[in-house]
């Protein structure tokens, strides 16, 4: 495998200067056109177009954990992991039609503000602090660590190089983030173009490598056909439930993606919570009008349908190559197979020029996610803590100034935590690390949002109980239920995890936690008046969609149906 050539470095440097230069141009244009108020800095109020919103959603969503983690899961499990991408398309339809109108009508700018408006200040403050810790100590740090690790591995760098890459990624993200949400949103359009073009180049090379391995020449379509024939089990969306004599490998796959059962459980909670109740994501649409926000969100949904081509197919190609005697050295670490090496193993075979483009794509995904996450941290701290509890008379200028300081502090903290991997991300794997720490609280968060939206009776006390119940139920089902209640109950089936214990599939645990959280919240709220005075006033006109919006929804659903019919 060849390392970087001069043309690779040139392409990467061009990418850096184009993104930075465009970001500076957007910033200068914004500065001369309008006063840089707090809502403009944090939300790009009224200035992001539908295509900028859609592109920014995708750029912020696709990061190192998708390129590395999803490709690794593609190697291990196959196309079934595309459920995360394809269910997201439906989740985005739900968010566009039913969630966003409620946010916009009630002038919601942050998720803690939603909780204060609908429930009370206590719920808002608890969740604001939680989200700040989650975004800094889990998301920002894991994105930076995984990204630096992947780029350093591809460059064949040392530990010292790894540290330089950490600093470079953080500084690049800081440059973009300090321009505010408008700069982030519009530079994300370039980031997505680079991400898609570079990602497609990697997928093309992966397919041609498979084609060559089977003596079919350099033909990407022939390579895809060979993959379908050689690994049909890797092109099934629904994994069968393991029987009593199933191999541990099949059990491990099912624990990760529990067949059709996950579509009645955690898959919806993961996606609806992420796309509809997450400051990091919803922030892009909260400053726009309803039609622009909806179109941008649905545009992102259409792009999500194509994402498996970029982030999962290379992993499946690496599996087919490995299975047939290729990539033996590239896929092993310390003598053990490591599925997370799939993407970098394929990248190593890219020709000069394309390698630089693909590294630029990976960097684009990392930087867009870091900048967006840093801006969300800044938004929550400034608007929900600084303005409310520290300096209530803060003017627009001081709020923007504080926002910029917090962006710098958040990225500096992420460098410190990543420098020697103080949180142990490398030991657990980035994707697992993120899922572990967000998944325990997601059922509770989603329950308080969904009941807050659509049930007038839900109370603040029920919301606090929901947060606690969701967390405790997640701990119970993930760690203790099999030993306390047995391996087979009417609620779940626990499977051997290969380490001497039994586990319930993680996505099933999320569904069960959500169910019990909803029950607790409903019971508590039934003891309150029939209508909570802080409920949201809804009317049917809020949820009506224009013909162009309906057309986008229909196209998305038809494409999704076709994909599931083909790969069921």
Over residues 244-266, the mean pLDDT reads 87
Contacts of 550 (CB under 8 A, 6+ apart): none
Residue reference for tokens 């969701």:
470
Least confident of 61-70, 303-312, 418-427: 418-427
Cα-only R_g, the chain = 23
Indicate the fold that domain 6-389+399-431 takes in CATH.
Answer: Sodium/glucose cotransporter (1.20.1730)
Q: How many CB atoms lie within 10 A of CB 426?
A: 12
Indicate the pairing of strand 336-337 with strand 332-333: antiparallel
- The confidence score (pLDDT) of residue 35 equals 46
3-class state of residue 337 by DSSP: strand
Q: Is the pLDDT of residue 445 over 80?
A: yes
Q: What's the rounded mean pLDDT across residues 516-529?
A: 95
488 DSSP 8-state letter: B
Beta strand spans in 275-334 (E): 332-333
Q: Give the confidence band of 52 by pLDDT, cuts at 50, 70, 90.
A: confident
Q: 350 and 205 in contact (C-beta within 8 Å)?
A: yes
pLDDT at residue 243 is higher than 70 = yes
Instruction: Provide the CB-side half-sphere exposure for 204 (13 A, CA).
Output: 12
Please, which residues have CB within 8 angstroms of residue 145's CB and are 6 or more apart in sequence?
166, 418, 421, 425, 426, 430
pLDDT at 509: 93
Q: How far apart are CA 492 and CA 477, in angstroms?
A: 9
- Give buried/exposed letters for 106-138 (b at 16+ CB in 10 A, else e): eebbbbbbbbbebbbeebbbbbbeebbebbbbb
Q: Where are the domains of the chain?
A: 6-389+399-431, 440-537
Q: Please report, rounded to a whole number, the percentage of residues in the chain having pLDDT higher than 90.
A: 36
Q: Is the pLDDT of residue 36 over 60?
A: no
Angle between helices 266-276 and 83-94 (to 10 degrees): 60
1 has pLDDT over 50: no
d(CA 346, CA 208): 11
Please say if the pLDDT value at position 38 is more than 80: no
pLDDT (0 to 100) of residue 428: 53
Question: When comparing pLDDT for 246 and 308, which is higher?
Answer: 308
Residue with tokens 């969630």: 99
Q: What is the largest CA-CA distance in the chain?
A: 72
Distance CA 235, CA 233 (A): 5
pLDDT of residue 23: 80
Q: Looking at the predicted structure, is the pLDDT value of residue 372 above 90? A: no
The per-residue pLDDT for 333 is: 64
pLDDT at 296: 93
CA distance 185 to 79: 30
Q: What is the mean pLDDT of the chain?
A: 86
CA 57 remoteness from chain centre: 9
Output the pLDDT for position 32: 54
- Locate 371 and state its tokens: 């900048």
């Amino acid at each position: 495998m060849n390392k970087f050539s001069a043309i690779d470095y040139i392409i990467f440097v061009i990418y850096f200067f184009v993104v930075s230069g465009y970001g500076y141009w957007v910033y200068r244009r914004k500065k001369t056109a309008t006063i840089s108020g707090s809502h403009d800095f944090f939300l790009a109020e009224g200035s992001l177009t539908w295509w900028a919103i859609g592109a920014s959603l995708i750029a912020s969503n696709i990061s190192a954990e998708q390129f590395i983690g999803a490709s690794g899961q593609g190697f291990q499990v196959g196309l079934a992991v595309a459920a995360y991408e394809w269910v997201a398309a439906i989740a985005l339809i739900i968010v566009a039609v039913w969630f966003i109108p409620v946010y916009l009508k009630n002038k919601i700018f942050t998720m803690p503000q939603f909780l204060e408006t609908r429930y009370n200040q206590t719920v808002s403050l608890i969740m604001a602090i939680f989200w700040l810790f989650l975004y800094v100590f889990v998301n920002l740090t894991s994105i930076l660590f995984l990204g630096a690790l992947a780029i350093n591995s591809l460059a064949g760098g040392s530990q010292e190089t790894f540290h330089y890459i950490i600093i470079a990624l953080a500084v690049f993200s800081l440059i973009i983030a300090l321009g505010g949400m408008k700069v982030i949103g519009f530079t994300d359009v370039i980031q997505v173009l680079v991400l898609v073009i570079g990602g497609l180049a990697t997928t093309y090379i992966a397919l041609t490598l498979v084609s060559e391995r089977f003596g079919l020449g350099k033909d990407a379509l022939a390579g895809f056909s060979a993959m379908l024939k050689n690994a049909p089990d890797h092109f099934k969306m629904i994994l069968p439930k393991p029987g009593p004599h199933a191999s541990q490998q099949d059990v491990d796959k099912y624990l990760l993606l529990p067949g059709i059962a996950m579509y009645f459980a955690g898959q919806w909670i993961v996606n609806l919570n992420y796309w509809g109740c997450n400051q990091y994501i919803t922030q892009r649409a909260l400053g726009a009008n309803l039609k622009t926000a909806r179109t941008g969100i649905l545009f992102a949904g259409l792009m999500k349908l194509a994402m498996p081509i970029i982030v999962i197919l290379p992993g499946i190609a690496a599996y087919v190559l490995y299975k047939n005697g290729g990539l033996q050295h590239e896929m092993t670490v310390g003598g053990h197979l490591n599925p997370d090496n799939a993407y970098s193993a394929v990248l190593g075979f890219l020709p000069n020029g394309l390698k630089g483009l693909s590294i630029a794509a990976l960097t684009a995904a990392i930087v867009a996610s870091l900048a967006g996450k840093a801006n969300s941290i800044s938004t929550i701290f400034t608007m929900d803590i600084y303005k409310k509890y520290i300096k209530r008379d803060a003017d627009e200028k001081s709020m923007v100034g504080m926002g910029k300081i917090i962006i710098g502090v958040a990225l500096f903290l992420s460098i410190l935590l990543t420098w020697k991997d103080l949180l142990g991300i490398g030991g657990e794997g980035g994707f697992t690390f993120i899922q572990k720490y967000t998944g325990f609280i997601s059922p509770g968060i989603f329950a308080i949002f969904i009941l807050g939206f659509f049930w007038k009776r839900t109370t603040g006390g029920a919301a606090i109980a929901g947060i606690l119940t969701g967390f405790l139920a997640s701990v119970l089902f993930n760690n203790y239920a099999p030993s306390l209640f047995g391996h087979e109950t009417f609620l779940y089936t626990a499977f051997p995890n290969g380490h001497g214990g039994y586990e319930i599939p993680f996505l099933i645990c999320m569904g069960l936690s959500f169910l019990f959280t909803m029950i607790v919240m409903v019971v508590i709220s039934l003891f309150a008046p029939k209508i909570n005075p802080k409920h949201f006033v809804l009317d049917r006109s809020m949820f009506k969609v224009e013909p162009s919006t309906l057309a986008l929804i229909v196209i998305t659903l038809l494409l999704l149906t076709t994909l599931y019919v083909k790969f069921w």
